Chain A
């Protein structure tokens, strides 16, 4: 397996269930985060990621499950334990930043220290230190309403880390920022998290964000965990159709595995009866011989040629091409299926041309449906 599971888990979430009326928002979610690592919960709206985060924070009560940080049990439905949010020692950055408009930046950041009855002089020092860390030192005496979105974001982060919490939670903090600022803040947030080393759980629906920032990603859908893995794993070795489709772009074809040629490799038969073809591929976890599976091939891993090549290939007709500068985004029709192919501009493909597609066996994956 991977090295991650060797490190002891600091945050443990086990069997979370949360229902709102008839709706099972979180349906048996479990996760484990080693100390100091950055975990992202990734999924579309309604997948249960925010509910999970809120449950860890103690802002939602659970119907079933266990939440533990280190040796402390925060929530245990079975044992009737529930620690209120203010006792959980968790820093949280909200989507709307939630900077209090009637206080200055310094007062906002000092608030958690005042609650903990830290000595006045020490408060001053620590607030200054953390404002320097997030790059807001000159803004200390300004009111929240005088700050831009990005600055409020940093202030929210400063407030969340100033009291050195055990855990840091982020609820889609960058979704209200414009694109350029978002890209900038992604890197900034990761840098700061690395520097202070607090275990972090981050919620987002933006896969680019997840891929850039995370040590580990949990892909969720409809209240369940679809896959747990590092950015590269989740991208290159998706566990099932959903993850393939959600992360990046993928060509997904239904078929079934007809042969296993080596450990983790085999052949999958795809296509309707008239144009059935066998393609060599890698086998994802849990995919056995004879099983129904989905062939997942990323557009950049499909070769396009004008002459029929040696080996398994698919004849097709170019439907349209879009010039993207460094690549050519093509749609190629094969039977009733439309392949997405990323070709090099020098190939000079045109709509109407007859071409032959050859998916790279090293990067074709048969995944669970």
Chain B
């Protein structure tokens, strides 16, 4: 520990300056962060790079050889089906955004600013759709409102004696409806966070100048919340454009293709053309990335909230008699978004065969046995594989992703320099690309490597796409921890690694655990990446649901869907307990 260095000027041989500098660079900290940067850089940039390259390779007529060319891009603009798919995607995204924004803003306002009774109890239920699988939601709504076999339509026929159907969810409107309801929590979270963090004296000062409630809300509150609303709207737009499960169930089979379903058919369909798929992924990816970039760099920094140590008690508006209407509205949302579809799925899952109406005498739990009891010889392999594989992937994936997130967060927030900024950028990139786009990239990158057709390629896809969520969870806590807590550990004699282990990580535990549970949930319900990268034996839960929907029957599909939903809901309860109220408002 004591290095005896002779005073300079005595003519004794000194180590060369560069050697000392090099030794200085080779510390525990720099090695770990360099490794993390390489891993993240490779994982994120490689698939995207291969996508770009593949998009310029054109498959010839026989489907064997490829050559460089711009034909893929020409086809993108010329092909009628693709043009239609692009239009449909735009319509769906716009419609879902409008619906989600209307619902999200109204629910957020009711919850954060009015005296709606029981609003604290209602909030967790408002957020449930955020955690569930929209694909399962689409299946549930199909069972509710399909023209012939929909539960609601049958009930309407029985009750009112109509011949045809009242609701039809198997079209673009149905896709918009389901997508909008499921992404409402995204807008809700942005707006409710904005409203809660707003300094009430901003509104109070307007009131003291004589402005009434309505004027204050319109001229002060609303403009201040606008960045939050815009952020939420953009995120919904982007997520809708990249959503695969809902249009796959309610759109494509009935003639409404979207960019995501087209990419899917180009990847694994009968006219498989990975290169065309890559080109389409590029188009979709560039659009979504651009919007996310706008949201991150232009809108989010304009948030008019101040983070002070003082807690705010925001103004609560007395709605008088209307508060019961607000309550009814909120309850209606929860009924329609959560209870109705899940209830329907449950009912369907208990029937041996589904024909559109409830037959109480036939109810049985046999479907659950077939999809869950993997030790039974008559269990459906694809479904039981799905359950096992998903839990394995979720557990391992979340753990690896959180370890990576920890090092990356540390590097972004505790070190200075270009490396930190580069890493910050690398962490935002995966969020800008839909799962299916990234999966295409992973597919074409690793198709000739040994990890192809194993669980490993799925793991790689999952972690690459979703680890930024874990990183944000950790960063949120890390920002609140003073750097001096780490520095004092170093001064006390602890190495960088010991400091990480004994001081930094224990203080970050809430963020780490919250991030882990969030990732576990996301991995358990994942569809877009799984459906591109799976193979026989490596099916996941959502792939199992898709298989059952295509090759088995409705009740079996419903049974597995309910099983998945129950698992997700259990995780949500854990998440609420661990993360606390403000955890998702990042």
Task: Give chain A's interface residues, CB within 8 Å of chain B.
Answer: 57, 59, 61, 66, 71-73, 76, 78-92, 94-96, 98, 100-102, 111-112, 115-116, 156, 159-160, 163, 169
What CA separation (Å) do A26 and B131 show in the bound complex?
A: 53
Q: Which residues of B contact A (CB under 8 A)?
A: 1-5, 8, 14-21, 24, 27, 482, 484-485, 487-495, 498, 502-503, 506-507
Nearest-neighbour CB distance to chain B for A155, whole angstroms, equals 11
A80 CB, min distance to chain B CBs, angstroms: 2
Q: A86-B495, A115-B498 are in contact. Are A94 and B488 (CB under 8 A)?
A: yes
Beyond A76-B5, A111-B502: 10 further Cβ-contacts under 8 Å? A71-B2, A72-B3, A76-B8, A78-B8, A79-B14, A83-B3, A86-B493, A89-B493, A95-B484, A116-B493
Q: Is the CB of A79 within 8 A of B495?
A: no
- Select one of A72, A76, A98, A112 contacting B493, CB under 8 A: A112
Are A79 and B5 neighbours in the complex by a CB distance under 8 Å?
yes
**B20, A163: Cβ atoms under 8 Å?**
no
User: In the complex, what residues of A have CB within 8 A of residue B27's CB?
Assistant: 84
Of the residues B2, B8, B506, contact of A79 by C-beta under 8 Å: B8
- Please measure, in the bound complex, the distance between the C-alpha atom of A287 and the C-alpha atom of B503, giving whole angstroms: 54
Contacts of A61 in B (CB 8 A): 24
B498 cross-chain contacts in A, Cβ below 8 A: 115
Inter-chain contact A100/B493, CB cutoff 8 Å: no
A80 partner, pick from B19, B492, B495, beta carbons under 8 A: B19
Q: Is the CB–CB distance between B484 and A82 below 8 Å?
A: no
User: How far apart are the CA atoms of A94 and B483 in the complex, in Å?
Assistant: 11
What are the residues of chain B within 8 A of A79 when measuring CB–CB?
Answer: 5, 8, 14-15, 17, 20
Q: Are A115 and B492 in contact (CB under 8 A)?
A: yes
> B493 near A102 (CB under 8 angstroms)?
no
Residues on the B chain within 8 Å of A71, using CB: 2, 4
Contact A98 B3 (CB under 8 A): no
User: Chain B: which residue is nearest A59 at the CB level?
Assistant: B487
Given contacts A59-B487, A101-B507, A115-B498, contact A81 B492 (CB under 8 A): no
Q: Report A65 CB to chain B, min CB distance, Å.
A: 12
Residues from chain A with a CB closer than 8 A to the CB of B2 are 71-72
Name the residue on B nearest A112 (C-beta). B492
Pairs of residues from A and B, 9 with the lowest C-beta to C-beta distance, nearest first: A80-B20, A112-B492, A98-B488, A73-B5, A98-B484, A80-B17, A92-B491, A115-B493, A94-B484
Residue from A57, A83, A95, A101 in contact with B491 in the complex, judged by beta carbons closer than 8 Å: A57
Let me know if B20 and A111 touch, CB within 8 A.
Answer: no
Bound state CA distance, A239 and B530, in angstroms? 75
26 A-B residue pairs with CB within 8 Å: A57-B491, A59-B487, A59-B491, A66-B8, A72-B5, A76-B8, A80-B16, A80-B20, A82-B20, A82-B24, A83-B3, A85-B487, A85-B490, A89-B493, A92-B487, A92-B488, A92-B491, A94-B484, A94-B488, A98-B487, A100-B507, A102-B507, A111-B502, A115-B498, A159-B488, A169-B491
Residues of A within 8 A of B495 (CB): 86
A71 to B2, CA, bound (A): 9
Do the beta carbons of A115 and B484 come within 8 Å of each other? Answer: no
| Set B19, B492, B503: member contacting A159, Cβ < 8 A | B492
Given contacts A59-B487, A95-B484, A98-B484, contact A163 B493 (CB under 8 A): yes
Contacts of A78 in B (CB 8 A): 8, 17
Which one of A76, A80, A82, A94 has the highest number of Cβ atoms from chain B below 10 Å of its Cβ? A80
B4, A72: Cβ atoms closer than 8 Å: yes
Question: Is the CB–CB distance between A81 and B491 below 8 Å?
Answer: no
| B453 nearest CB across to chain A (Å) | 45
B500 to chain A, nearest CB (A): 13
- Known A-B contacts A79-B20, A80-B15, A86-B495; the reply to A111 vs B5 at CB < 8 A is no
Which B residues lie within 8 Å of A95 (CB)?
A: 484
Find the A residue at minimum CB distance from B491: A92
Contacts of B4 in A (CB 8 A): 71-72
Across the interface, name the chain A residue whose C-beta is closest to B507. A102
Q: How far is the CA of A112 from the CA of B503 in the complex (A)?
A: 13
The interface residues of chain A lying within 8 Å CB-to-CB of B3 are: 72-73, 81, 83
Which B residues are CB-close (under 8 A) to A112?
492-493
Q: How far is the CA of A80 from the CA of B21 in the complex (A)?
A: 6
- Residues of A contacting B503 in the complex (Cβ-Cβ under 8 angstroms): 100
- A250 CB to closest chain B CB (Å) equals 36
Cα distance A183–B19 when bound, in Å? 49
Whether A111 contacts B491 by the Cβ 8 Å rule is: no
Residue of A nearest to B493 (CB): A115
Chain A min CB distance to B509 (Å): 8
Query: A111–B484 contact, CB under 8 A?
Result: no
Q: Which residues of B contact A91 (CB under 8 A)?
A: 491-492
Asked if A111 and B21 sit within 8 Å, CB to CB, the answer is no
Contact between chains at B484 and A102 (CB < 8 Å):
no
Min CB–CB distance A185 → chain B (angstroms): 18
- Min CB distance, A64 to chain B, in Å? 12
Tell me whether A96 and B5 are in contact (CB under 8 A).
no
**Minimal beta-carbon separation of B382 from chain A (angstroms):** 46
A81 close to B1 (CB less than 8 A): no
Is the pair B489, A90 in contact by a Cβ cutoff of 8 Å? Answer: no
CA distance A86 to B489 in the complex (A): 8
Closest to A77 in B: B17
With A80-B21, A111-B492 as contacts: A87 and B1 at CB distance below 8 Å? yes
A69 to B445, CA, bound (A): 56
Min CB gap B6→A, angstroms = 9
Let me know if A85 and B24 touch, CB within 8 A.
no
B490 x A86 contact (CB < 8 A) = yes
| A83 to B502 Cα, complex, angstroms | 22
Cα(A125)–Cα(B495), bound, Å: 25
- Bound complex: CA of A79 vs CA of B19, how far in Å? 10
Tell me, rounded to whole Å, the shortest Cβ–Cβ distance linking B463 to chain A: 29
- Contact, CB under 8 Å: B1 / A115: no
Give the Cβ gap from A63 to chain B, nearest Cβ, in Å. 12
Q: Which of B1, B2, B21, B492 has the most CB of A within 10 A?
A: B492
Chain A residue nearest to B495 (CB atoms) is A86
Q: Knowing A72-B4, A79-B20 touch, does A94 contact B487 (C-beta < 8 A)? A: yes
When A86-B490, A101-B507, A115-B494 are in contact, do A81 and B485 touch as well, CB less than 8 Å?
Answer: no
Interface centre among A112, A163, A169, by most chain B C-beta atoms within 10 angstroms, is A112
**What is the CB-to-nearest-CB distance from B480 to chain A, in angstroms, rounded to a whole number?**
11
Interchain CA distance A85-B482 in the complex, whole Å: 18
| Cα separation A115 to B24 with both chains bound (whole Å) | 22
CA distance A7 to B502 in the complex (A): 41
For residue B14, which residues in chain A have a CB less than 8 angstroms away from its CB? 79
A60, chain B: closest CB distance, angstroms? 11
B417, chain A: closest CB distance, angstroms: 12
Contacts of B491 in A (CB 8 A): 57, 59, 85-86, 88, 90-92, 160, 169
B18 — which chain A residues lie within 8 A by C-beta?
A: 80
A57 to B486, CA, bound (A): 14
Instruction: Find the A residue at minimum CB distance from B19.
Output: A80
Give the CA-CA distance A52 to B221 in the complex, in Å. 47
The residues of A that contact B487 with a CB separation of less than 8 Å are 59, 85, 92, 94, 98
Minimum CB–CB distance from B171 to chain A (whole Å) comes to 55
Chain A residues with CB below 8 A from B507, complex form? 100-102
**Residues of A with C-beta under 8 A to B494:** 86, 111, 115
- Which residues on the B side are within 8 Å of A100 (C-beta)? 485, 488-489, 503, 507
